[in-house]
Amino acid sequence: MQRETIHQLNGIKICTESFGNPKDPAVLLIMGAMCSMVYWDTEFCQRLADSGRFVIRFDNRDVGRSTAYEPGTSNYSVTDLAHDAVGVLDAYQIEKAHLVGMSLGGMIAQVMAVKQPERVQTMTLIASSIFGSDHNSRNLPQIDERILAYHANAGTLDWSDEEAVAKYLAAGSALLCGPAHTFDKERVYAQVSVEIKRATNLLSMFNHALLVGEDDFEGRLAEIKAPTLVIHGSHDTVLPYEHALALVEEIPGAALLTLEGSGHEIHADDWDTIITAIFAHTK
């Protein structure tokens, strides 16, 4: 494992970390909204690298050690986040990579595959959805109201109290755990504790909630040439399973791997299945 590195790109700072042999095929892990790269569990990353892949994870803007803006401000688009991901490949002198995107990370991958297809070998979209401006026309189900109700309490939290914040974030993750799994409280609590300590500005993560779909990507998934694998939990309460079906319908040749009983998560119970699938897809 290479230590965390800060790269200057696109006029900002992006923090990255790599695992494995740089001579192996490159896999770029792109995390979802409001989460830094630590949610790509270190053990997961190492096991994926051990399968024969050069694995890179990184902090998007406004999370982790990358550039953070004033909380409550909107300073960039999903397209800008895609440019940052391309910049990470440039920093590692990688011409073409396999993209693995979680949730919003999968949408960032889609933008890369449309805008700069020459940089994308394959895509794996985990617990993700279509990137575009018009979900309503597809009648895709929305996030579970219980999750929104829980996070409505964020404003009453004392964000200077690290223990209280860790408990709040961990309990929020528990809501995403599917019925097939036992919520791994210790692992998640350890992750959120690291998240809190390494954040440039923890509250900046909420800026991701201001990101919106972009009109110029509407209907463009048919242009994607990269072989695509969609991995989705049958009990995802953030982006319900119908979002996976929509991706498979709109991306030419996309394959679907259903994680029965999984939620909006990359649960340790599913690691073997996910890593095996990524390895086969990126062969």
Q: Tokens in use for 213?
A: 């779909």
Closest alpha carbon to 103 in 258, 262, 238, 270 = 238
Residues of the chain with pLDDT > 70, as a percent, come to 98
Q: Which residues pair with 6 in a beta bridge?
A: 15
pLDDT in tens, 135-194: 667 889 999 999 999 988 888 999 999 999 999 999 999 999 999 999 999 999 999 999
* 3 state SS of 207: helix
The 10s digit of each residue's pLDDT in 61-95 is 999 999 999 999 999 999 999 999 999 999 999 99
- Which residues neighbour 37 within 8 Å (Cβ) at sequence distance 6 or greater? 15, 16, 17, 29, 31, 57, 58, 59, 64
Is the pTM higher than 0.95? The answer reads: yes
170 three-state secondary structure = helix
pLDDT tens digits, residue range 86-110? 999 999 999 999 999 999 999 999 9
Angle 244-248-250 from CA coordinates, rounded to 5°: 115
- Residue-wise pLDDT for 28-49, tens only, equals 999 999 999 999 999 999 999 9
What are residue 187's phi and psi, to 5 degrees? -65, -45
CA distance 149 to 244: 24
Q: How far, in Å, CA of 3 to CA of 22, rounded? A: 14
Token pair belonging to 232: 């989705």
Enter the tokens of residue 58: 């990184």
Cα–Cα distance, 76 to 10 (Å, whole number): 11
Per-residue model confidence (pLDDT) at position 274: 98
Supply angle C-alpha 90, 67, 15, rounded to 5: 45
Pick from 91, 90, 92, 111: nearest CA to 101: 111
Q: Which residue's entry shows tokens 């494995």?
A: 20
- Comparing CA positions, the residue from 95, 82, 109, 78 lying closest to residue 215 is 78
- Nearest 5°: the CA angle 123, 126, 127 is 140
